[in-house]
Each structure stands twice: as structure tokens, then as C-alpha cells.
Amino acid sequence: MIEEPAADRLESAPHPRERQVLIGHRDAERTLLDAYRGPRMHHAWLIGGPEGIGKATLAYRFARFVLANPDPGRLRHDTADLSVTADHPVARRIVSGAHPDLLALRRIAEGGKDKIPQDIAVAAVREIVRFFGSTAGEGGWRICIVDSADELNRHGANALLKLLEEPPPRSLFLIVAHVPGALLPTIRSRCRLLSLAPLSAEEIVQGLASFDEVKIPADEAKAIARLADGSLRRALQLVEGGQSAFAAEIETALAALPQVNGRTTHAIGDRLAKRNDEAFDLFLRLVFDHLSAAVRGQAAAGGRLLAPHAEVWEKVETAAAEVRTFNLERKPFAFQVFGWLAEAGRQRP
């Protein structure tokens, strides 16, 4: 199968439909399994949580399980999870994107184009009507995965709502959302919410080790896990961008404050000057972590001299927004930030 360019692809990782491994979220998996065994399973699930923690992987895992086991009454009593073997015919068809009873709505380039649209294409949303209007081919289930609902425009959201209001028999909607609260209230009210929490650092390390494409030392995996904010996707992006070394360089410079090493600051500025948004985001994340630690430490000491670091926080936020908005040079921004931090650090008792 030739994969079209899509917003949810990472070079170092297979697509969620190809993943046989689920990292974390055992309680959520059990909730879905128990619901499927129950007398009346809800037809629509809103799988919410921060980006990159495994929501789509869980959605495909559940879809694969339902299509491979279309009759919940015939499940073995000792079935403990939603796993399906990789060589199962259903699993192979889903991996190839060719299962007739599974429709996935995603942001994907179409018609030979390389540019990925900002929203899920209208044509893809219209496909829902045709999909649910046809007869299910195998086992009677038809499943639609929306990945993600945050990327539906108004027309797409309204089309989805209409189907949720009048669901066809034996239909299942698995709706991934990074910010469920931002969806139409009428969509949320027709779904059962399943909230997923960010992964632990240990689970991030486990997740990185589960990818054959990722080969990094254990200490580097731990450092990346600490920076990933509970998101395996974010961890993979850090690996792809080779940013663990850059993070270590920034942290070394921050730890040396109020002393500023000009050579190190130049190197950091040169990296930011390459207009890499992920590097810029990483720099800001570590700067704000440094400021947060400084404020907490000063608060614990009685609240003295909180103002300098609070002021720097506001300055960095304002300057970073201007850099993004007006596409300003990023190397001078790095020097500016280290100057502010050094000055605030020198005011400590």
C-alpha cells in the first residue's frame, strides 16, 4: 500500500493502525472490553487526552478487536485485553488500510498532492454517509475512527453529529480528541467519554524501546522521557530531531546561571536560527522549567525576590510571541533571554 502524506505520520514510528503494542492505559482498555461484553455497548466513544499519548492506538486496537470478534457473546471468559495477533486476517487488512468495515477520518493529502490540509477534507467527511449507508461486509459491524475530532471543520462536525444522533445498527464511532471540551456540546453529549492520562516517564522509556526503528542508549531515553510531557509522540519527535543533545546543552547553560558562557549561548542561538520550531519550543520549555523551579525555591524561602523571575517569565512570553508573530530572528532572542535570566539570578540573596 502507498501511504499518502498525512499529518499523523512520524518517520520513526508505524501508524497507530499498525501498532500491536499499547503502552499504558490498561484501565481504559479494560473499560472498553467490559463495555463490549455488556448487554448494551455505547455506540460512540470520545477518547480524550493530550496529544501523542496513545489515543489513536487504543482506538485502532479496539476496532481491530471488535472486527476480529464480532459476537461479544462468544468471547472467552478469560479474555483480559483487546489484543489481536498480527497475523489475524482482520489485523492484516487494517494494517493495509483495506478493511471494508473500518473507515478512518484523518487529515491526509489527496489527489496526488503533497500539501496536507488544515482540516479533515470535506470529501472524507462525506464518505461517512456512503460508508454507513452500505451493508457491512463481515460480522455486521461498521466502525468509524475520527483522528482527530479537533481537526473537523464546522461542516464535518455537523455531518458527524447527524450520524451520532441517528446511529445505524451495529455502528461504532471511536472519536479521538486532544481537547474534548472544545467540541460541540451536542457531540460530547452523544458520546461516552474515556479520558486517557499522560504516560509516566517509565512508560515513555518502555514505549521508545518498543519501536524497532528507535535505537538510543538507555540514559538518552530517560532524558527524552523527562522532556516529553507524558507524550510518546513528543518523545519520538525529540528522537527524530536529535534534540536530546540540544536539551542537555540548554540545561547546562541554565544550570551555570547567573554566569553566561558566550560560546554556549552562541551555539544555542545558532540552533534556534535554523527556524526549527521544535527546537524553539524545546528551548522555551526548558527556560520556563528553570523559571518555575526558581520561583518555587524562592517561595519556599519565604517569598523574597519573587518579582525578578516573575518579570522574566512575562518578558520571555511576550518576546516569544513576537518572534513567532513577526518571524523575528531567534538568535538575538536567545541572548536576550539569557541576559534576563542572569540579571534575575544575580538578585538572589
What pLDDT is attached to residue 300? 56
Which CATH topology does 16-195 take?
Rossmann fold (3.40.50)
Q: What residues contact 148, with CB distance under 8 A and at least 6 apart?
A: 55, 56, 176, 177, 178
What pLDDT is attached to residue 293? 87
Read out DSSP for 278-339? HHHHHHHHHHHHHHHHHHHHHHHTTSTTHHHHHHHHHHHHHHHHHHHHHT--SHHHHHHHHH
Enter the pTM of the model. 0.84
Number of CB atoms found within 10 A of residue 335's CB: 15
**Long-range Cβ contact pairs of 33-40 (< 8 A, separation 24 or more):** 33/65, 33/79, 33/80, 33/81, 33/82, 35/192, 36/62, 36/65, 36/66, 36/72, 36/75, 37/72, 37/75
CA distance 268 to 258: 17
Please state, in angstroms and as integers, the Cα–Cα distance from residue 341 to each residue in 122, 267, 301, following that order: 48, 17, 19
What pLDDT is attached to residue 36? 97
Q: What residues contact 125, with CB distance under 8 A and at least 6 apart?
A: 105, 152, 155, 156, 159, 160
For 44, the enclosing helix (H) or strand (E) is: strand 44-48
Extents of the domains making up the chain? 16-195, 241-346
Q: What residues contact 150, with CB distance under 8 A and at least 6 apart?
A: 177, 178, 179, 182, 183
Q: What is the pLDDT along the chain (349 residues), one digit of tens a residue?
A: 445 555 566 776 889 999 999 999 999 999 999 999 998 899 999 999 999 999 999 999 999 999 999 999 999 999 999 999 999 999 999 999 999 999 999 887 665 556 777 788 777 777 888 888 776 666 689 999 999 999 998 888 988 898 899 888 899 999 999 999 999 999 999 999 999 999 999 999 999 999 988 888 998 899 899 989 899 999 998 888 888 889 989 999 999 999 999 999 999 999 999 988 889 999 999 999 999 888 877 665 555 556 788 899 999 999 999 999 999 999 999 999 999 999 998 886 5
What pLDDT is attached to residue 138? 62
